[in-house]
Chains A and B, each alone.
Chain A
Amino acid sequence: MTSSHQQANAIVAERLHRVYAKKGRWLRSQGEVVAVEEISFAVPTGTIFGLLGPNGAGKTTTIKMLSTLLLPTSGSATVGGHDIVRDERQVRRQLGVVLGGDRGLYDKLSARDNLVYFGTLYGMDAPSIKRRANEVLELVKLQDRAAERVEGFSRGMKQRLHLAKSLIHDPPILILDEPTIGLDPNAAVDLREAIAALVPDHTVLLTTHYMHEADLLCREIAIVDHGRIVARGTPREVKGLVAEDRRIEITINQALDGTAATIEREIATLPGVRGASREVLETGETRFTILCAEPTLTLDGALAALRAHGVAVSAVEVAEPTLEDAFLAITGRSFE
């Protein structure tokens, strides 16, 4: 890892590897699980980089290692040019971190008091804390609610306060773990706007399992699955992996019970199909998503398979591929 490489990149991970011991009852060990397998990537300074993947892919483990909360089993990484194991204190000073989840704030304190406390933990003087608190509250649009206790905040407001908290000491590098998870669409849009406004003054490493979010915000992305990076590049480049393909969505307006898995398997083995998945919609309908090179041929085959099982189709849609489709094509399975 050269120093010029480190200067151009705010975060550099090289073959980061993390193994957890699976704990049984009391002190018994039940073997090991590889959470992150030799991940390497670099985040250019002043950009937003997305780590994408389904739940359990290894995103959070990766960012916990980068933020010094977790030691890697092997491999190395630098944040702001500092080694995450040897120079943990310097790394922490460079970083603002939003960890996933609903907690992480003092519910009985006001939004402003939370920011003042965390600013103090970072060693800022009182006038700087006061000024920065006003700035970040304005950035996340909470200035009118600053004096209210956090316990009365909605999840979206808490997430925005988390972002403000991570920014209070104005770190050059931010790590945001699933910042919009569980938010209603409007709150998510507000938060994404705030994140987009952070560059180029800050470097942002973002984990998400919302592909459209990564598409909107990130200059580069890495798709993580089962602890490994399976694709990397700009969103356009990753989508380019399936540029020649088409996505077919077939919606079934009936319960499929045990036949759904069989139908999915049959569709997945049709000629030209790169991946197939199914999901049950909130309406109770079942939707099959198919990624294929020859949509006409595949559609004929899929409809024939459905008819053979006595299933009537209620809607069919053929569309351009998305990042989800890229994931489906690369891993052969759905993102969720």
Chain B
Amino acid sequence: MSAHPGVRYLSPAGHWWATMTATLRSQLFIDTTYLISIIRQPLGGAIFFLLMWITYQASGQSVVAGTSAAGFLLIGQVGVEAWGSTIWASGYAIQHERSLGTIGALFLSPASRVAVILGYGVSGFLWSLPSLLVLLILGLIAGARFAVADPLAVLAALVAVYGGSLAVGFAFASAFILSRRGNLIANALQTPIHLLAGFLVPRSSLPEVFQAISNVIPAAHSIDALRASTLNGASLGDIWPSLAATLATSLGFVVIGAWGLRRVEFAARRSGSLELY
């Protein structure tokens, strides 16, 4: 394969892992070169939390779905952050590479596209951690109180929130290959998803048809699990149906993403639109 006798190659698994971590590192480095991004990242989530909290206060609702409005919104905001950071990071991965003109080189390499997109997604997750800390402080000030009985349940639910969002972002990545304006689709879907997934209002308060639609969103189930484990002391045994639903719906999006990536890459190679921006 190589004219150079000294070049050694990693195993397929090693290549996959190295691609994912190298993408993660590169994107984190690139993101943190902009001071304005570092400041803006936690500020956006905090302002949105305060806006929703004031809205609940103004309407006289201090208790939502059996818990404090601050606690309900704080956990919902974790969903918003997870959605925002992972969907945009992983879904936007392709468009970002297009804008840089690196997508040709990326697709010419034998690296796994999934590993690259996951690297973007995980960097988005790490990038959202300061926001979560700021939200936690704000939530506590606003009156959120936790009742954790099973820390493992909280961890599992948190992983499910991010994992589920990542799966949807992965499915979106192919839309970004298919259309150079895939971000408009993601933009249009963002607020409806926030509502349907129960980030801002309880899913039980939505019209029945919307409740049915919300069942296909992984984050809708994982947010239920996170609220139950952090605010109501639910154990792993209590939340497993929500975790199972998250896993099942996430797998659906992963399958759509893997199929879509292969199909749209082929379609883009056929139409000659892969590198266009």
Q: Give the docked Cα–Cα distance between A95 and B105 (Å).
A: 11
Cβ 8 A contact of B4, one of A97, A101, A132, A165: A132
Given contacts A92-B110, A95-B108, contact A101 B272 (CB under 8 A): no
Taking a contact as CB atoms under 8 Å apart, the answer to whether B9 and A106 are in contact is: no
Q: How far is the CB of A127 from chain B (nearest CB, A)?
A: 7
Contact with A along B20-50 (1 / 0, CB 8 A): 0011001001100100000000000000000
Given contacts A71-B270, A92-B110, A171-B2, contact A123 B100 (CB under 8 A): no
Taking a contact as CB atoms under 8 Å apart, the answer to whether A99 and B104 are in contact is: yes
Contact with B along A33-62 (1 / 0, CB 8 A): 000000000000000000000000000010
Taking a contact as CB atoms under 8 Å apart, the answer to whether A170 and B105 are in contact is: no
A93 within 8 A of B: yes
Chain A residues near B26 (CB, 8 Å)?
A: 106, 109, 113, 117
Q: How far is the CB of B1 from chain A (nearest CB, A)?
A: 5
Q: How far is the CB of A10 from chain B (nearest CB, A)?
A: 11
Taking a contact as CB atoms under 8 Å apart, the answer to whether A171 and B100 are in contact is: no
Chain A residues near B10 (CB, 8 Å)?
A: 123-125
Taking a contact as CB atoms under 8 Å apart, the answer to whether A120 and B2 are in contact is: no
A219 within 8 A of B: no
Q: How far is the CB of B265 from chain A (nearest CB, A)?
A: 10
Chain B residues near A103 (CB, 8 Å)?
A: 100-102
Q: Give the docked Cα–Cα distance between A64 and B272 (Å).
A: 9
Cβ 8 A contact of A106, one of B7, B18, B102: B102
Q: How far is the CB of A33 from chain B (nearest CB, A)?
A: 11
A228 within 8 A of B: no
Taking a contact as CB atoms under 8 Å apart, the answer to whether A170 and B111 are in contact is: no
A116 within 8 A of B: yes
B193 within 8 A of A: no
Given contacts A69-B269, A132-B7, A169-B7, contact A122 B109 (CB under 8 A): yes
Contact with B along A69-109 (1 / 0, CB 8 A): 11100000000000000000100111101010111111111
A315 within 8 A of B: no
Q: How far is the CB of A160 from chain B (nearest CB, A)?
A: 16
Taking a contact as CB atoms under 8 Å apart, the answer to whether B2 and A170 are in contact is: yes
Taking a contact as CB atoms under 8 Å apart, the answer to whether B109 and A118 are in contact is: yes
Taking a contact as CB atoms under 8 Å apart, the answer to whether B29 and A202 are in contact is: no
Closest chain A residue to B99, Cβ basis: A103
Given contacts A123-B111, A124-B9, contact A69 B3 (CB under 8 A): no
Q: Give the docked Cα–Cα distance between A312 and B270 (Å).
A: 54
Taking a contact as CB atoms under 8 Å apart, the answer to whether A125 and B9 are in contact is: yes
Interface residues of A in 106-155 (CB under 8 A from B): 106-109, 113, 116-118, 120-125, 127-128, 131-132
Q: Give the docked Cα–Cα distance between A125 and B19 (Å).
A: 11
Q: Name the residue among B1, B29, B105, B270 with the largest chain A CB count within 10 angstroms.
A: B105
Closest chain B residue to A94, Cβ basis: B1
Q: How far is the CB of A134 from chain B (nearest CB, A)?
A: 12
Chain B residues near A201 (CB, 8 Å)?
A: 3
A21 within 8 A of B: yes
Q: Give the docked Cα–Cα distance between A95 and B100 (Å).
A: 21
Q: How far is the CB of B161 from chain A (nearest CB, A)?
A: 29
Q: Can you list 8 A-B pairs with a CB-CB distance of less than 8 A?
A: A93-B110, A97-B105, A101-B101, A121-B19, A122-B111, A123-B111, A125-B14, A128-B6
Give the A-binding residues of B (Cβ under 8 A).
1-4, 6-10, 14-15, 18-19, 22-23, 26, 29-30, 33, 100-102, 104-111, 116, 266, 269-272, 274-275
